Structure 1
Amino acid sequence: MQPHDAGSPPAESAAPLTGRGMLLGLRRVSVLMPGVVVFAVAFGAAASAKGMSLAETLLMSAFVYGGVSQLVAMELWRPEWSWGAIAGLAVVTATVNARMILQGASLQPWFARYPKAVNAFHLFFFTDANWLIGTRYRSEGGRDLGVLVGAGLALWAVWIVATAPGHMLGMLVSDPRRYGIDLVMPIFFAAMIVPLWRGRRGLVPWAVAGCVALLTAKLVDGYAFIIAGSLAGAVTGAFRDDPA
């Protein structure tokens, strides 16, 4: 007799968030730290070149914590601001960060089991790296949200700490392209995405996303290619999925 057969669904719907999971997230994200450090140093140097103080730079890393969008903001940064310039900066950074909507939606079935307060907390630390780690972890059958929380907290702390030496270096690496730092993130994402390959069925959505992104980058100024490529790949994948 198995009185708890009917209890299997509640066990499945349980929402674990453990210290062990956080440690696992820390271990998994540790391999990405060198790339994150280089990118944070590049941001700190760019902020210094734009005249931001060390305190302002650290506060931006701590409370904005936008990664790529912070570097984009530095490209548009100016000594004097108008409401039009502020609105333009907001639109550009929102476009860059809009990819998080699709990334978060892909993990929503996982997040949905947790209280809103928990989700509000860990989503502040949600990054591309978290999404990649979370996606791989879930594909392996993992359920502990601590993995995502641990990875996010570790990345956030490292990002803030690494911003400081970047600011001190100042003009030395003010132009990321000069030292090839602008290639760090593309290489990093390419290396992380490879394990997500699930066979030839995924080739068409990936190819469509890449082609649309490249075409948009050629035809439209700014960062609209990020959203265009993501949406094109997502829609293509949705239409190719089995109805079941």
Structure 2
Amino acid sequence: MPQTTPPAAAPFTRAGLMIGLRASLPLWPSIAVFGAAFGAAAAQRGLTAGEAAATSALVYAGAAQMVTLEVWGRPWNLGLLLSAMTVTALINARMILMGATIQPWMRGAPVWRTALTLFVLVDASWLIGVRHRAEGGRDLGVLFGAGFGLWPLWVLSTVAGHFAGALVTQPRTYGLDMILPVFFAAMLAPLWRGARPALPWLVSGVTALIVQRLVPGYGFIAAGAVAGLVTGLLLDDGAPR
């Protein structure tokens, strides 16, 4: 039986890292405001500046951090801990699908490099990396650079918001709340491949909206992700080989 040579690991270069870092620059104002808002909210919940900064540094998941504050309480008990774990799991469930999409790209990379890249993986860095890959690129430095470039800003803005949260309580006044959705729309546009490949996006969005209206809590995130995944699998099974 002929031996098959496994594909070579994707490159990881300094040039790619800088490309990813530069691609994340348009997000900096929005990330800074979001991080400051989290810092301010954490201060209101009784977290110290060190605790808020450690949360941003170790968790590095803005939406999950924000929502978890809603169930934050002291002293902690089993019910509060389970609530925080459930909320975090629901919001970050999308990371399972995101990780699956980049697994073939990261195959063969050293374990330590994979761990570092996944640690700084966020929605923005994933989208920057996916676009780079769709355009024919293979450099994993782009994926890592995009996420790593936002990480220190997220931590520093959390600390700043903890001490001066009143300055960013109304980001809509400056239109800064629109930077993130505009960025995602601009990055997704070149990935358009027609109506059929976009159908899972549509099903996911509609499902999430319906569940959000009918069911309290954050289950709509998982519902939208599952609906999009199932739709994608059904379309793939029906595609011509």
Task: Indicate whether the TM-score tops 0.5.
Answer: yes
Q: How many residues align?
A: 236
Change (3 A) 1:14 1:106: closer
Deviates more, 1:200-209 or 1:186-195: 186-195
- Among 231, 238, 241, the residue aligned to 2:233: 238
Q: Is the 8 A contact 2:128 2:143 kept in 1?
A: yes
**CA distance in structure 1 between the aligned counterparts of 2:169 and 2:76, rounded to whole angstroms:** 21
Task: Report the CA distance between 1:237 and its aligned residue.
Answer: 2.0
Letter in 2 for 1:192: M
Q: Is the 8 A contact 1:49 1:171 kept in 2?
A: no
Are 1:155 and 2:174 an aligned pair?
Answer: no
Letter in 1 for 2:147: G
**CA distance in structure 1 between the aligned counterparts of 2:40 and 2:23, rounded to whole angstroms:** 28
Change (3 A) 1:116 1:243: farther
- Among 61, 71, 75, the residue aligned to 2:66: 71
Task: Report the CA distance between 1:191 and its aligned residue.
Answer: 4.0
Q: Is the 8 A contact 2:208 2:220 kept in 1?
A: yes
Deviations 1:19-40 (Å, cap 9, x if unpaired)?
1111111111112212111111
Q: Give the structure-2-normalised TM-score.
A: 0.88
Q: Is the 8 A contact 1:65 1:156 kept in 2?
A: yes
Change (3 A) 1:92 1:184: farther
Q: CA-atom RMSD, angstroms?
A: 2.4
How does 1:158-197 map onto structure 2 within 5 Å? Answer: 158-171=153-166, 173=168, 185-197=180-192
Q: Is the 8 A contact 2:64 2:88 kept in 1?
A: yes
Structure 1, gaps ≥5 residues long: 1-8
Letter in 2 for 1:91: T
- Among 17, 22, 27, the residue aligned to 2:22: 27
Q: Is the 8 A contact 1:46 1:175 kept in 2?
A: no
Partner of 2:132 in structure 1? 137
3-state SS of 2:66 partner: helix
Among all aligned residue pairs of Structure 1 and Structure 2, give the percentage whose two residues are the same amino acid.
49
| Regions of 4+ moved over 4 Å | 9-12, 171-188
- Among 220, 224, 228, the residue aligned to 2:223: 228
Are 1:50 and 2:45 an aligned pair?
Answer: yes
How does 1:65-144 map onto structure 2 within 5 Å? Answer: 65-144=60-139
Change (3 A) 1:76 1:195: farther
Q: Is the 8 A contact 1:217 1:223 kept in 2?
A: yes
Task: Report the CA distance between 1:79 and its aligned residue.
Answer: 3.0
3-state SS of 1:32 partner: helix
